[in-house]
Amino acid sequence: MAVGAEQKINYFPVAGFKLGTTSAGIKTPGRKDLVIMQAQPGSTMAGVFTANAFCAAPVHICRQHLATQQPLLMVVNTGNANAGTGPQGMQDALSTCAAVADLAAVSAAQVLPFSTGVIGEHLPMPCLLNALPQAYANLTEDGWSDAAEGILTTDTRTKGASVKLQLSGTEITLTGIAKGSGMIRPNMATMLAYVATDIGLSQDLTQELVRDATELSFNRITVDGDMSTNDSCMLVATGASGLTVASGTADYHALREALVSLMQTLAQAIVRDGEGASKFIAITVAGGQNPQECLDVAYAIAHSPLVKTALFAADPNWGRILAAVGYAGITDLDVENLTIYLGNELLVANGGRADSYTEEAGQAVMDKDEITIRVDLKRGNSTETVWTTDLTYEYVRINADYRS
């Protein structure tokens, strides 16, 4: 189940970046579950990772390799998170890097490993290592679609986006894929995301762009409030277009805007495919004294099981939204002054239900698949938006049966 019709994704190849996908049989025989990505020499790679203290072995290795080398390859397996696996998990991640490095004739530190799937189980190394040569042999600049499928776990559809833009008379390509469906919350989500561009960027600027764009996209989504051990979002700049962008220029701002937009598309696709989701919810909080208090209110609403189950039931139980705003922890909140809207219907004003609100109007909004909740705190100029889902029977079934 996913919200909205599935859209056909037209992937534009990124010069200097190849992807190869195969089946290693890590969890499900015959399913695409192993991906290698390779950038041309001279490319820059940067990433952001989960804030979970119990981060997976591949996350540790990625951070180490990015700090010491100029990586050129990434290897992704699904079906097994290689998290909570102790020293053996670290060794398995390093062995995977070494095997890919042998295929590409680079150092092991130039390979970044990524895993997603069940936590607490060791990687089935023989089948993974045996499949790596085939994934490497399949490398092609047209490999985006297969790779988008190869990184999925409980997702019901692939998630990708691709755009072209003109910068200083040069055509630039941005293409990205992502996976994620459950264990989704800010900082980041159980998600992997890979975006590549043929523009040239310094290492520092690549890091700055991926950090800023993640903050406005993958750090603005939540499905169930659970933070994963494996979250990773990578940006690769190959420089194959011949154009290099410097910070603060018009080209930089245009590139940043395009990257944020593309990553928001990927992030919203994760929410639309949230485990068991039947509703796509945008929660906008305006009038905050600062962005953080807007986010605190938005996430209080988005993480409330009572709000989420009411959304699933299409029940305009507006008191649950009001209560979530009230316990968000905003100091000196003037509840008599703020307003809450459900869609375009004024729901709360003057400390209670708005005089103009009717149950029929609220029901008409709640019956929709896509719903907007808007709160105006009327105490400042900050505005933030968070995207989330409802909480359904299917979410419980998926996660109750996850290891079955």
Q: How confident is the model at residue 180 (pLDDT cuts 50, 70, 90)?
A: confident
Q: How confident is the model at residue 346 (pLDDT cuts 50, 70, 90)?
A: very high
Q: Would you name the residues annotated as active-site residues?
A: 190
Q: How confident is the model at residue 1 (pLDDT cuts 50, 70, 90)?
A: low
Q: And the tokens for 208?
A: 């700055």
Fold of the domain built from segment(s) 17-272: L-amino peptidase D-ALA esterase/amidase (3.60.70)
How many separate helices (H) and strands (E) can be counted in the chain? 11, 16
Where is average pLDDT lowest: 182-196, 226-240, 377-391?
182-196
Q: Which residues of 370-404 are buried (b: 16+ CB within 10 A; e: fewer)?
A: ebbbbbbbebeebebbbbbbbbbeebeebbeeeee
Mean pLDDT computed over 322-331: 95
The pLDDT tens digits for 207-235 are 999 999 999 998 898 876 555 667 889 99
Check residue 402 and give its pLDDT: 60
CA dist 267 and 272 (Å) reads 9
The model's pTM is: 0.89
Where is average pLDDT lowest: 79-83, 168-172, 184-188, 253-257?
184-188
CA dist 108 and 102 (Å) reads 8
Check residue 6 and give its pLDDT: 78
Check residue 188 and give its pLDDT: 47
Q: How confident is the model at residue 97 (pLDDT cuts 50, 70, 90)?
A: very high
Question: Domain locations in the chain?
Answer: 17-272, 280-400
Q: And the tokens for 4?
A: 């909205």
Average confidence score pLDDT of the chain: 92
How many other CB atoms are there within 10 angstroms of residue 210's CB atom? 24
Question: Is the pLDDT reported for residue 190 higher than 80?
Answer: no
Check residue 403 and give its pLDDT: 63
Q: CA nearest 389: which of 233, 257, 278?
A: 278
- CATH code for 280-400? 3.10.20.340
